[in-house]
Amino acid sequence: MSTLASELTLELPGGLPAADVLDRALRAASPAEVIAAALKTIGRERLALVSSFGTESAALLKVMADVDPAIPVIFLDTGWLFDETLAYRDTLIATLGLTDVRSIKPEDETLSREDPDRELWFSDPDACCRIRKVEPLARALKPFSGWINGRKRFQSTTRAGIPVVEDDGQRLKFNPFANVSREDIEAIYALGKLPPHPLVASGYQSVGCMPCSSRTAPGEDARDGRWRGRAKTECGIHTTKTS
């Protein structure tokens, strides 16, 4: 465990919320230090990492595996994922030695009731994300007091101000890659000899569900290919309380 994590005090001076205290302490920390501090603060049994196994996911998973490969990893299998993403998940589990990856699916009853024709992604993408991502994640996170995710400030203007640690309304939320650059991500891939997501070579900078992901053009933000042509920019798991 890093020196920063081992020396981190969890006392809350001035009555500040734990998230504010941790964010101040970890504002300049490396991703590995943030994950180590999260592990020390929460404990492995109460901490989870949420990963899409998307185009940049291997970097965060590599850093986590170097700290502790047994931290639980939650993967939302929405029923609309690319086959390449499912294969990539299996590749990274084997490559990084991850020991507790939990693939979470939407409830069959909910899908039958609210999306029987699998057209909800077109008519109401927010509702589609709710039943396929937001609700399954809330269910999966119930046993946990903190979670780690891979959002980065450089990904889009809507993510430019994310903190390193925040309170999502129910638990602590750690963003260890908040401060990293695209060059940092590339360096982690190169040093770790990590395999790229199979769709990167086809022009996808950000990959989610098949109907709502598209290739991006040079100069576009990584997430410009998500929900193209709509005002929607997030699936909801980062804008909805994970109760």
Sheet strand arrangement including 146-148? 101-104, 73-76, 47-50, 146-148, 172-174, 165-167
Q: Which residues pair with 172 in a beta bridge?
A: 146, 167
Please give the Cα distance from 45 to 19 (Å, whole number). Answer: 19
DSSP class of residue 201 equals G
Between these two residues, 83 and 169, which has the higher pLDDT value? Answer: 83
Domain ranges (residues) in the chain: 3-225
**Options 3.30.470.20, 3.30.300.30, 3.40.50.620, 3.50.30.60; CATH of 3-225:** 3.40.50.620
Q: Where in the sequence numbering do the catalytic residues fall?
A: 235
Do you know the residue count of the chain? 243
CA dist 170 and 239 (Å) reads: 13
How do residues 26-78 score in pLDDT, each as one tens digit?
A: 999 999 999 999 999 899 999 999 999 999 999 999 999 999 999 999 999 99
* DSSP secondary structure code for residue 212 in this structure: G
Most confident stretch, 2-11, 14-23, 75-84, 234-243: 75-84
pTM for the full model? 0.86
Crossing angle of helices 31-42 and 57-67, rounded to 10°: 60
- Residue-wise pLDDT for 159-198, tens only, equals 677 899 999 888 999 999 998 998 999 999 999 999 999 9
173 contacts 147 by C-beta, under 8 angstroms: yes
Structure-token pair, residue 30 = 């490396």
Q: How far apart are CA 169 and CA 157, in angstroms?
A: 23
Burial class (CB in 10 A: 0-12, 13-18, 19+), 36: buried
Q: What is the pLDDT of residue 4?
A: 57
Residues β-bridged to residue 147: 48, 173
What's 179's DSSP letter?
T
Share of the chain above pLDDT 70, in %: 87
CA distances from 44 to 64, 70, 139, 147 (A): 12, 8, 18, 11
Q: What is the token pair recorded at 56?
A: 């940049």
